[in-house]
Amino acid sequence: MNDLPPRPPVPLERAREHVIRELCEHYAHDSLDDRQLEERLDRAHSAVSLQELDALVSDLPALRPETSPAIHPAQAEEVRERQTVIAVMGGAMRKGSWVPPKHLHVFAIMGGAELDFREARFGPGIVEVTVFAMMGGVEITVPPGVRVEVEGIAIMGAFDSREEGQPPAGPSVPVIRIGGFALMGGVEIRTRLPGESKRDARRRARLERREMRRLNRGG
């Protein structure tokens, strides 16, 4: 006879995961201190109803609108076939409400390039990013909800990507495929919410990884 307690219904599990992520985000934005966060996370793991979960975030301030991970669409005719970003002994940047092309070539030679996709307007299909970094670096920032595929070659350098928590593939999910070559240089890919600092993003990511592991172990 199986004495294990029944698994909670899927909607409750999904709500629990959503609330845990929201609590981590509030902590990253200093709405909760260490003690308050730990207390609410413990209650989230032990909650047995949607009402209990809702109560854990109902008294918290609304998150800033710019932290919404909404993906902004672009019309197919707005998407260029290809574009080049060059940073030679200097810097180059793409950020804000821009439309990534189908094929984006990035050259960073003794310089640095930054590609920020958090407010980008994605057209249909895959965005192919090809990087050549020599004694330089490329920093790529994507919002949650965008799928990132990385296949780069590095010699005395690195393609540094943390791809946990990737959204499942689907027709409505933007895909950025990053490849290329780094020689004594580096390519860094990170997921951050719009308006989120590097420090806040690292803190939130550490918390979310810890709590998701705890959730998968059953508390």
Looking at the fold, whether 61 and 87 belong to one and the same domain comes out as: no
Which domain does 83 fall in, by range?
72-191
Higher local confidence (pLDDT), 197 or 38:
38
- More confident site: 210 or 51: 51
Residue 1 covered by a domain: no
Q: Are residues 17 and 97 in the same domain?
A: no
The residue-averaged pLDDT of 181-189 equals: 92
Residue 151 within a domain: yes
Give the pLDDT of residue 155: 92
Q: Is residue 4 part of a domain?
A: no
Say yes or no to pLDDT of 7 above 60.
no
C-alpha–C-alpha distance, residues 155 and 35, integer Å: 44
- Residue 5 in any domain: the answer is no
Q: Are 50 and 131 found together in one domain?
A: no
Residues 183 and 94 in one domain: yes
Are residues 147 and 201 both part of a single domain? no
CA distance 197 to 74: 26
Residues 90 and 174 in one domain: yes
* Residues 31 and 54 occupy one common structural domain: yes
Q: What is the pLDDT of residue 209?
A: 77
DSSP at 199: H
Q: Are residues 130 and 181 in the same domain?
A: yes
Note whether 104 and 159 are same-domain residues. Answer: yes
Instruction: Report the number of distinct structural domains present in the chain.
Output: 2
Tell me the two tokens of residue 95. Answer: 């950020």
Which of 99, 97, 94, 98 minimizes the C-alpha distance to 114?
Answer: 94
* Structure confidence at residue 165 as a pLDDT band (50, 70, 90): low
Judgement on whether residues 103 and 166 belong to the same structural domain of the protein: yes
pLDDT at 66: 45
How large is the average pLDDT for residues 160-185? Answer: 78
Query: Whole-angstrom Cα distance, residue 67 to residue 204?
Result: 13
Q: Are residues 46 and 81 in the same domain?
A: no
User: Do 111 and 183 lie in a common domain?
Assistant: yes
